[in-house]
Amino acid sequence: MANIFTSKSPFFLDGGTGTHMIAAGFPEGACMEQWILEHPDVFQNLQREYVKAGSNAVFAPTFGANRAKLSSYGLGDKVDEINQKLVSLSREAVGNDILVGADLSTTGLFIPPYGDTSFDEIYDIYREQIESLVRAGVDFIGIETALNLWEPRAAAMICRELDIPFFASITVDQSGHTLMGTTLAPCVVCLQAMGASAVGINCSNGPVGLEEQFRQASKYAKIPLSAKPNAGLPDDSKPSGFDLTVEEFADGMKVLAESGASILGGCCGTGPAHIAAIQNIKPTLPDVSQLDCLANEKRVFVLPKAPVISQPITCGWELEDDLLDLEDTGTDIACVVISSEEDCQTLAEAASSSPVAIAISCSDSKLLDKALMLYQGRAAVMKDCIEDSAALITIAEKYGAVIL
């Protein structure tokens, strides 16, 4: 599958949608997707303006059109209908020469130990929406404003199976971390191994201060990096307004382009003027990374040519301590033995604290699949743990795991 985001550099996405709809009269507490369907001209005129400003692609307004979000408005049974209509609005507005992507939001649901929703349920919610969007004819899928790794990973698995280009974008606080403590670099390592066409940052606090995130991520990136931030911070003195001027936003985006971002756009508070203002930016593209890396939610681990692997570690209640004990011992990878479903969950909960990379040893293919599904990052698997080498390769490829 060709990477559509390498066709142009820079590649320009659109700007914000929600703040423009609010300015046009969208009432607080209503369903944005339904309101847009009831006021199509407002949205379509905005998208046409983005194309005039230089956008190579626009997003259909499907951000909250998943079952979890729509159910709160009594529309949970209309996922397919709403997504089909929203994509049609964008395609009608911009024609066939501009790419139309589908925007996915977070579900608002959390997997254990942070919540009680299973990964399978989140996967099913996204699959329902993504299948509808593929039928509607979108050119790519983008999950934006991600607060964690499990939702982009679920979407990546589905998009890879359905053979539709996919990119993921996290939102971070002023320290550069998502709500779950993830930074851009581990997301890049994990999601590019799962087939993502691009990974980046959107929303957040504007472009200022994000350059270090892109510099660090570019060390490990084999795919383009995207930057689609807000126009700064909300300005209480302006309805739907933000505190950066168009010129200040463009200056910040230039710095991000110099730091490795080559897919550029805007989020809340940005409009066609912001997209027009960044048209002359020329990204400084880093070399494609040749490093082979593993990652957990919080750290990237560069694999040496001959990694030092620990003795097998039993996955029990003391696993986190066992992993922490490996720091400064010269060990590169912890070999964790999975023997039960409980072990899968234990590893998932302990992994983000590990000072070393993780390799899973598991003789049961179903358990190995579950362990990798719950592991939020990029893990390795021991090549001799399952006799059926074909099954091992299939499972590893599914989750972007490295076979050692």
- Output the DSSP codes for 256-324: HHHTTEEEE---TT--HHHHHHTTT----PPPPP---EEE-SS-EEEPPSS--BPPPEE-STTHHHHHH
Residue 224 and residue 286: Cα distance in Å, rounded?
10
Closest CA to 119 of 372, 381, 320, 350: 372
Closest CA to 54 of 323, 375, 280: 280
Give the DSSP letter of residue 28: T
Q: Count CB neighbours of 386 within 10 A.
A: 20
Predicted confidence at residue 235, as pLDDT, reads 79
Is the separation of the CB atoms in 226 and 261 below 8 Å?
A: yes
- Kindly report, residue by residue over 162-173, the tens digit of the pLDDT: 999 999 999 999
Predicted confidence at residue 9, as pLDDT, reads 85
Do the bridges between strand 99-104 and strand 402-403 make them parallel or antiparallel, or are there none, so unpaired? unpaired
Please give the average per-residue pLDDT across 396-402, as a whole number. Answer: 97
Please give the average per-residue pLDDT across 227-253, as a whole number. Answer: 88
Q: What percent of the chain has pLDDT over 70?
A: 99
Predicted confidence at residue 240, as pLDDT, reads 65
Q: Is 172 exposed, middle or buried (0-12, 13-18, 19+ CB in 10 A)?
A: buried
Closest CA to 42 of 93, 88, 78: 93
Q: What percent of the chain has pLDDT over 90?
A: 91
- Kindly report, residue by residue over 37-89, the tens digit of the pLDDT: 999 999 999 999 999 999 999 999 999 999 999 999 999 999 999 999 999 99
Q: Is residue 99's pLDDT more than 80? A: yes
- Kindly report, residue by residue over 321-353, the tens digit of the pLDDT: 999 999 999 999 999 999 999 999 999 999 999
- Kindly report, residue by residue over 125-163, the tens digit of the pLDDT: 999 999 999 999 999 999 999 999 999 999 999 999 999
- Kindly report, residue by residue over 186-233, the tens digit of the pLDDT: 999 999 999 999 999 999 999 999 999 999 999 999 999 999 999 998
End-to-end CA distance of the chain: 26
Give the DSSP letter of residue 219: T
Residue 215 and residue 226: Cα distance in Å, rounded?
12
Backbone φ, ψ for residue 99 (5° rounding): -70, 140
Q: Is residue 393's pLDDT more than 80? A: yes
Backbone φ, ψ for residue 26 (5° rounding): -60, 125
Is the separation of the CB atoms in 177 and 183 below 8 Å?
A: yes
Cα separations in angstroms, 266 against 43, 191, 197, 263, 271? 16, 22, 19, 10, 7
Please give the average per-residue pLDDT across 274-291, as a whole number. Answer: 94
Residue 5 and residue 8: Cα distance in Å, rounded?
7
Q: Is residue 284's pLDDT more than 70? A: yes
Q: Count CB neighbours of 286 within 10 A.
A: 17
Predicted confidence at residue 135, as pLDDT, reads 98
Predicted confidence at residue 308, as pLDDT, reads 97
The neighbouring-strand residues paired with 402 are 380
Owner of token pair 């990374």: 289
Predicted confidence at residue 239, as pLDDT, reads 60
Please give the average per-residue pLDDT across 233-260, as a whole number. Answer: 89
Quickly list DSSP for 178-213.
-TTS--HHHHHHHHHHTT-SEEEEEETT-STT-HHH
Domains plus CATH for the chain? Answer: 4-277 (3.20.20.330), 293-403 (3.20.20.20)
SS3 126: helix
At 4, is the pLDDT very low, low, confident or very high (cuts 50, 70, 90)? Answer: confident
At 8, is the pLDDT very low, low, confident or very high (cuts 50, 70, 90)? Answer: confident
Q: Is 59 exposed, middle or buried (0-12, 13-18, 19+ CB in 10 A)?
A: buried
User: Residue type for 109, please?
Assistant: L
Is the separation of the CB atoms in 132 and 106 below 8 Å?
A: no
At 7, is the pLDDT very low, low, confident or very high (cuts 50, 70, 90)? Answer: confident
Q: Is residue 294's pLDDT more than 90? A: yes
SS3 88: helix
